Amino acid sequence: TKEDLKKKLDKIDGKGYKAYKDLEGEYEFEKFILHIDHVQGDPFASLSRIRIRVPQNIADFEFSMYNNPSRQVALEDFLTRSVFDVIKMLPSLKGTGHSGDIYIDKGGQQIIKRSAMVVNEDYVEARLSIGLPAFGRRINGSGAQRIFLEFLPQIVEKGLLKKHLNIQDIWLWVETVEDQDYLRSQLKKRGLVAFVADGAILPRESGISDRPLKGGNVVPFESPDSLRIKFQLPNRGEITGMGIPEGVTLIVGGGYHGKSTLLQAIQKGVYNHIPGDGREFVITVADAVKIRAEDGRRIEKVDISPFINNLPNNVDTTRFTTENASGSTSQAANIIEAIEIGTSLLLLDEDTSATNFMIRDARMQKLIAKKEEPITPFIDRVKQLYKDNGISTILVMGGSGDYFDVANCVIKMHNYRPYDVTQEAKEIAKEFKTNREVEGNNEPIVIKPRIPLKKGLEVKGKKIKSKDEDTIRFGYQEIELDYVEQLVDKSQTNAIGEIIRYIASKYVDEKSSIKEILKKVYKDIYEKGLDVVSSFYGKHPGNLALPRLQEVAAALNRLRSFTVK
């Protein structure tokens, strides 16, 4: 019980830091059970991990606040943020190293399933990290008593009990997330790949902040009449906005008129966003993948031949391997890998694409014969991708009108407002022929799934650990994820590291493809929760947020030791 904890703390006060280890265990408090799962070795080591479990009859959330997966994630997210806010208000205990730190892994602007909070019919459980307080290397027992006996009960009282929370805000969270998931689930039925609500705020505060841009100059989104559609949402009711149809869509317009901002909002639209973000109802099909050039990345036996053929030195492009990809080969590999794992929408921006991968105009075709040019540009594949593979594309292209010939829909951004210029673009395409020859062949793109080998996933040296949002340390190697743009949370990166470890120990049988393996992982997660991939399953699992299949595959594909059959 709580009294046992107090006794232990009295006893170890002033002793060497290692004596804190005695605390590991379970303690019953009035309104919750405290699990001290892991105690740090010294005040500078990574924080100690605890769980606070409040029985549901005390927390008292109505079942309807979490009775489906959308609502559950929403309530968990809400409570994580509410605990975070309570922690912020606590007095700070200063001391050596991380003394007195109390941390919960709150998300950013997205609402993603995370390990920080679990809500179910039996309990509400918050997973916290704590810096056990010290003076020098000695235990600050009274500090620890304040944290455990004073702060934790406050966190529970103000952060986890329904009666002290703002019920309206809880419902706002729950209903908004449910509406977002519902809208996303309806896109395909309506022949759409993305939806941008009227009134949405797309621009962000800065290049390093994901928060909405504020101020009088922000232009809320307003859909063009011809593309405006309505949805009937379960909670919010009717909503209108721009529907982007399946097929090939171009976003054109002058420089600085908001093209990339629109595309970036769409690429994040695979996730749900918190109320007030401005992108709550910018919703994209869940499997959309941003494609960009990424020279320098590694490629492991990827069939890039639909885009690249006849390289110098007779390099085989059906099993293309390189330690140092070029702009165009990396972009081709990114597309093929996305198709391999499954996608229905590719997102490309001229700003981050390789020019020679995107276009090859008539003049260049005259000067450099097709047999001298290994690349079949994207313009000659994009229609086929939709026709044969059912994969749509949204492409930002302000610099070349050649794409008018292959687009189904052309949206012009002007002063941050969209206009439907499809008809105009079609007429221009008729009047001004590009005179370019269509390149490539008409063979459908068929991808043979690759089968990972065990040896490529052995960790040599230290363990797997994420260093920051964009880097996973994998033994002596580092997986660079800087250009995997739809990875949005450091804890997703953490989770990817754990998932790679999990599949290496469990599912790499040298018979299953990458996709088959990942399907098994997601089935486990669906059945047993996100914690299942953690090496501390059953305890505080670390700070994890659910990544998409696409980002896990992206990490495998960028692991330099990764090998396939």
Residues that bind ligand ADP (CB under 6 A): 202-203, 213, 217-219, 253, 255-261, 413, 416
Q: Which residues contact 408 (CB under 8 A, 6 or more apart)?
A: 245, 247, 248, 249, 422
The mark string for 324-353 relative to Mg ion (x by CB under 5 A, - otherwise) is ---------------------------x--
Q: Which does 29 bind (CB under 5 to 8 A by kind): ligand ADP, Mg ion, none?
A: none
Contact status, residue 81 vs residue 106, Cβ threshold 8 Å: yes
Question: Minimal CB distance to Mg ion: which residue?
Answer: 260
Q: Is 267 in the site for Mg ion (CB under 5 A)?
A: no
Q: How many CA atoms lie within 13 A of 32 on its CB side?
A: 26
Q: Which does 392 bind (CB under 5 to 8 A by kind): Mg ion, ligand ADP, none?
A: none
- Cβ-proximal residues to 116 (8 Å cutoff; 6+ apart), any chain: 76, 80, 104, 105, 106, 126, 127, 543
| The two three-digit tokens of residue 197, written as one number | 């609500």
- Residue 350-389 contact track with Mg ion, rule CB under 5 A, x = bound: -x--------------------------------------
User: What's the alpha-carbon Rg for the chain, to the nearest Å?
Assistant: 26
The alpha carbon of residue 68 and the mean position of all alpha carbons in its chain are separated, in whole angstroms, by: 21
Q: Which does 218 bind (CB under 5 to 8 A by kind): ligand ADP, Mg ion, none?
A: ligand ADP
Residue 295 has which token pair? 């020279």
Number of alpha carbons in the 13 Å side-chain half-sphere of residue 86: 22
Nearer to ligand ADP, 257 or 436 (CB): 257
Q: What is each CA distance from 113 to 96, 118, 161, 475, in whole angstroms?
A: 34, 10, 21, 27
3-class secondary-structure state, position 453: coil
Residue (222 or 478) nearer to ligand ADP, CB: 222
Q: How far is the CB of 421 from ligand ADP (least distance, A)?
A: 15
Q: Which is nearer to ligand ADP, 260 or 384 (CB)?
A: 260
Among 48, 223, 260, 557, binds Mg ion (CB under 5 A): 260
95 binds, among ligand ADP, Mg ion, none (CB under 5 to 8 A by kind): none
Asked if residue 256 binds Mg ion (CB under 5 A), the reply is no
Binding-site partner at residue 66 among Mg ion, ligand ADP, none, CB < 5 to 8 Å by type: none
Distance between CA atoms of 249 and 252, rounded to whole angstroms? 10
Please give the C-alpha separations between residue 390 and each of 19, 346, 387, 393, in angstroms, as whole numbers. Answer: 61, 11, 6, 10
- Cβ proximity to Mg ion: between 143 and 269 the closer is 269
Contacts of 527 (CB under 8 A, 6+ apart): none
d(CA 252, CA 381): 20
Q: How far is the CB of 355 from Mg ion (least distance, A)?
A: 14
Smallest distance from Mg ion to CB 219, Å: 16
Q: Which residue has the tokens 């759409």?
A: 192
| Beta carbons of 541 and 531 less than 8 angstroms apart | yes
Which CB, 143 or 258, lies closer to ligand ADP? 258
| CB atoms closer than 10 angstroms to residue 455 | 11
- The minimum distance between CB 186 and Mg ion, in angstroms, equals 29
CB nearer Mg ion, residue 249 or residue 376: 249
540 binds, among Mg ion, ligand ADP, none (CB under 5 to 8 A by kind): none
- The smaller minimum CB distance to ligand ADP, of residues 207 and 312, is found at 207
Cα gap 64→41, rounded to integer Å: 42
First to last CA, the chain: 55
Q: Least distance to ligand ADP from the beta carbon of 317, Å?
A: 32
Q: How far is the CB of 331 from Mg ion (least distance, A)?
A: 17
Q: How far is the CB of 204 from ligand ADP (least distance, A)?
A: 6
Task: Tell me: does residue 466 bind Mg ion (CB under 5 A).
Answer: no
Q: Return the bridge partners of 199, or none.
A: none
**Footprint on this chain of Mg ion (rule: CB under 5 A):** 259-260, 351
